[in-house]
Structure 1
Amino acid sequence: CAAGLVFGYWAETPALLQIAYPAAALLVAALLYASAPAYYLGFAWWIWFVTPFVRRLVDYQALSFSTASPVMLTPYLVTGLCLITLFRFGGRLTQRRYVPVLLVLLGLGYGYLVGVVKAGLWAATFDLLEWVTPVLLGFHVLVFWRLYPVHRRVVRAAFGWGVLVLGVYGVVQFFAPAAWDAHWMVASGMTSSIGQPEAYQLRVFSMLNSPGPFAMVMMAGLLLLLGERGPLARLAVVPGYAGFLLSLVRGAWGGWLLGLLYAVRGLRGTGRRRLLAVLVLSALTLLPLMVYAPAVERVTHRFDSFVALEQDTSFNARLRLYANVSGQVLANPVGRGLGSLGRAAKLGGGR
């Protein structure tokens, strides 16, 4: 995949890369699924981490912007291989251990049927992909529960390296956004929500599509790193927390705090002291960056918004959305189905 990316980019063949990247990723994923299932899991995570970045390179090289880039299908194709697991072991869904998965799939099936009628086939199908892929991946992990020790090691490594790479890229992005990142911000029309494509003026989104997904990935990765002692954890913690803070995503900050409290609650004695030492060391190593005026101003301003939520634009917009949707739910118990909200709704023409 990496060789194909470099060749496609420098050979100035973005059209070829739009097909070559998904095809190469799917081939590698299929080989790993068949021969090394645990490493397939790590590969799938990395495809989710870097595919938006690949898409930006392709668009920038072509000097264009596509709202429906084939490159963005890659994570769904790779994770979609877990359908094979569902076909092979779907009979287990009636067993007690798997009933929660069955209930989720039934709910998605109902939402999809309603969505096809009310939002259109393409919108409902796209939304189904976004909802069903994590369920399929979870079912795959559940079926192969005996591989848990290997899965645990692979996932921790994937997120550890992910925090390091995404964090470093995110910090660099804040101080000197790359041309392809600036092109993406302007062409996608996101400057009103994530800032201007200039140094110190943007909310960090690293290799992901926007600050929200980036912050959620970093939140999960940083929580996983709390239990790590190796050199990777030490290297990743500084750029990881720096990028996480510069994303300015309050929901992810709150999620990290809840995860930390849960971890502390489950630790005793030496474990708690070691965790406290890790947090103090992380804070100290962040000081050189966070005393830099442009960075500290943006982060502290975002923290200040916690005590003035009634004046916060995004918070009030969410309240209006929830109030509007709640009224629609009460008035229409059948629902609007998948594809009626968010990005998928654009494929249905807003029906």
Structure 2
Amino acid sequence: MNRLVKQSEAKTFQPQTKIFNQLFQPAGAWISILAFCLLTVLMIALGGFGSRILNFLFPLGALIVGWLLYFRYPILYNGFVWWLFFITPFIRRISDWRIGAFTDPKSSYIMLAPFIACIICAHTIHLKLFKTRDKYSSIFILAISAVLYSYFIGMVYRGFLPSTISLLEWIAPLLFGYHLAINWQRYPMYAENIKRVFLWGGLVMGVYGVYQFMIAPEWDRLWMIGSGMTSSGGSPVPFGMRIWSTMNSQGPFADYIVTCLLILLSSRGALVIPAAGFTAFSLLLTLVRVAWIGWILAMLSLLTSLTPKQKFRLLAAVVIMAIILIPLINMEPFSTVIFSRLETLTNLQNDGSGQARQGTYAAILENITTNFLGDGLGALEGDSALIVIVNLGWIGGIPYVGSLIFGTLLVLMEPNKNDDLMIPVIRGILIKSFIFLLSSITIKGAHGMLMWGFLGLGLAGIHYYRDYHLHQFLMLKSRDKLPIS
């Protein structure tokens, strides 16, 4: 009997991959990643000629490296995808600067690289859909079906290419979330990898964000003027920008930096405090109010679901951040910028962006009440969550939104039965993402990676711990039935 129990345990919890503590291990994976990075640097160093080649070479390289990592080093594949979302907009800006002109978004293929790397996850559906009976997979399959329905509608109205580009933004987060959820046996390795990725990602993005605010580099000024961001992003001068660091705009950067701050609460190591300091300070410099509110509500959700020891650790982290930040935000010119934005939280009548957003909601509401079929992917772009109905219609919107809400409720309502701080952090991230829906469409693109990606990770964690506790129960039950010798 003991042999059967041990064999069952080995079969259930046989590790799929390995987390390496040594730098640049496994060597095969890192050779491909570093070669991709060096090739990118070389093309940029060649000036405008190399940057024009990089426009095509970067997404192709992301596909090749992503394909290798997906099949041979699946844990590093996840980290590679996250890093592409962190830095691809920065690579695009440097490339434009080397060319000497702002590149129209329609002809900038560099920005497709993260989504192309994500699409590789479609192989997970091919591999798992009919072989694995996982009750959580239906959440993602329903949403994917709704997006594909809207894609075909979009092809009828707008043609193949515009609809396909929109499809990448909508379906990539769903495929990535499904990939994480269905491979729930790897949850501990996924969680550990994400802690490392967002620790280093938060540190890099936070440091560069502060540098961007103080220096206003030429490539960022070129992007700011060329994209028309001066209307909402401040002035292209030192100490005049609402920072967006290595990302495309303030909204996605604030969303990612809040996520970094929350994940740092479950991390350990010498870099956690400096990373938290830079990420928190850069979050304030984004001046994105909904991100501030989302962080506060996420922290409150953590307090309701942690053990007393974990609550003490959380409060200690907040106190340390306050000690670091209070002197900084009271220094000029930081204090003027930050406190003037804080005042708008209590003075909504003079909030121009809020009033404009209300007008957008009203205009969209007039058109969606009878929009049953939807206008297809790419029909309407914007920051309103209501564009889901415009693009997907009620036929696609109901299963899509219903799947998202149902999956989120499963994660939020799961009781804590372990000391894993990552699960409460994931709940906070999901709450924050829903708060972001007040000002951004956080279910697709870079925003959507956080929403659907961490939903998939949360469902993987739930499945993993339920299987673990069931396994422990069966072990105890079988042990009780053993004859006493």
TM-score band w.r.t. shorter chain = over 0.9
Q: Residues of 1 paired with 2:220 and 2:295: CA distance? A: 27
Matched, 1:16 2:50: no
Q: Which residue of 2 aligns with 1:246?
A: 285
Q: Which residue of 2 aligns with 1:54?
A: 91
Residues 189-213 of structure 1 show CA distances to partners (whole Å, capped at 9, x for unaligned) of 1111101110111100000010000
Which of 227, 236, 243 aligns to 1:188? It is 227
Q: Given that residues 4 and 20 in structure 1 are in contact (C-alpha distance below 8 angstroms), is that contact kept between their aligned partners in structure 2?
A: no
Residues 324-344 of structure 1 show CA distances to partners (whole Å, capped at 9, x for unaligned) of 11111113332222101127x
Q: Which residue of 2 aligns with 1:348?
A: none
Q: Given that residues 203 and 246 in structure 1 are in contact (C-alpha distance below 8 angstroms), is that contact kept between their aligned partners in structure 2?
A: yes
Change (3 A) 1:310 1:266: same
Matched, 1:155 2:199: no
Query: Whose Rg is larger?
Result: 2
Matches within 5 A, 1:138-287: 138-287=177-326
Q: Which runs of 5+ in 1 are unaligned?
A: 346-351
**Cα deviation, residue 95, structure 1:** 4.8
Which of 333, 347, 369 aligns to 1:308? It is 347
Q: Residues of 1 paired with 2:341 and 2:169: CA distance? A: 29
Secondary structure in structure 1 of the residue aligned to 2:333: helix
Matched, 1:74 2:113: yes
Bigger Cα displacement from structure 2, 91-100 vs 76-85:
91-100
Bigger Cα displacement from structure 2, 207-216 vs 256-265:
256-265
1:278 aligned partner, one-letter code: A
Query: How many residues are paired up?
Result: 345
Normalised by the size of structure 2, how large is the TM-score? Answer: 0.69
Q: Residues of 2 paired with 1:330 and 1:92: CA distance? A: 40
Q: Given that residues 116 and 168 in structure 2 are in contact (C-alpha distance below 8 angstroms), is that contact kept between their aligned partners in structure 1?
A: no
Q: Residues of 2 paired with 1:75 and 1:229: CA distance? A: 28
Matches within 5 A, 1:28-43: 28-43=65-80
**Cα deviation, residue 228, structure 1:** 2.0
Q: Residues of 1 paired with 2:131 and 2:346: CA distance? A: 49
2:332 aligned partner, one-letter code: A
Matched, 1:65 2:102: yes
Q: Given that residues 134 and 182 in structure 2 are in contact (C-alpha distance below 8 angstroms), is that contact kept between their aligned partners in structure 1?
A: no
**Cα deviation, residue 6, structure 1:** 1.7
Matched, 1:26 2:63: yes
Q: Residues of 2 paired with 1:122 and 1:321: CA distance? A: 27
Q: Residues of 2 paired with 1:164 and 1:92: CA distance? A: 40
Matched, 1:130 2:169: yes
1:220 aligned partner, one-letter code: T
Residues 304-328 of structure 1 show CA distances to partners (whole Å, capped at 9, x for unaligned) of 1111112211111111111111111
Q: Given that residues 163 and 218 in structure 1 are in contact (C-alpha distance below 8 angstroms), is that contact kept between their aligned partners in structure 2?
A: yes
Q: Residues of 2 paired with 1:297 and 1:244: CA distance? A: 16
Q: Which runs of 4+ in 1 moved over 6 A?
A: none
1:39 aligned partner, one-letter code: L
Q: Residues of 2 paired with 1:143 and 1:247: CA distance? A: 35
**Cα deviation, residue 88, structure 1:** 1.5
Give aligned-pair identity as a percent. 36
Q: Which residue of 1 aligns with 2:411?
A: none
1:276 aligned partner, one-letter code: L
1:2 aligned partner, one-letter code: C
Q: Which runs of 5+ in 2 are unaligned?
A: 1-35, 388-485
Q: Residues of 2 paired with 1:97 and 1:296: CA distance? A: 47
Q: Which residue of 1 aligns with 2:330?
A: 291
Change (3 A) 1:178 1:111: same
Normalised by the size of structure 1, how large is the TM-score? Answer: 0.94
Q: Residues of 1 paired with 2:267 and 2:171: CA distance? A: 31
Change (3 A) 1:93 1:246: farther
Q: Which residue of 1 aligns with 2:28?
A: none
Bigger Cα displacement from structure 2, 93-102 vs 219-228:
93-102
Residues 286-315 of structure 1 show CA distances to partners (whole Å, capped at 9, x for unaligned) of 133212222121111111111111221111
Residues 107-126 of structure 1 show CA distances to partners (whole Å, capped at 9, x for unaligned) of 11222222223344333222
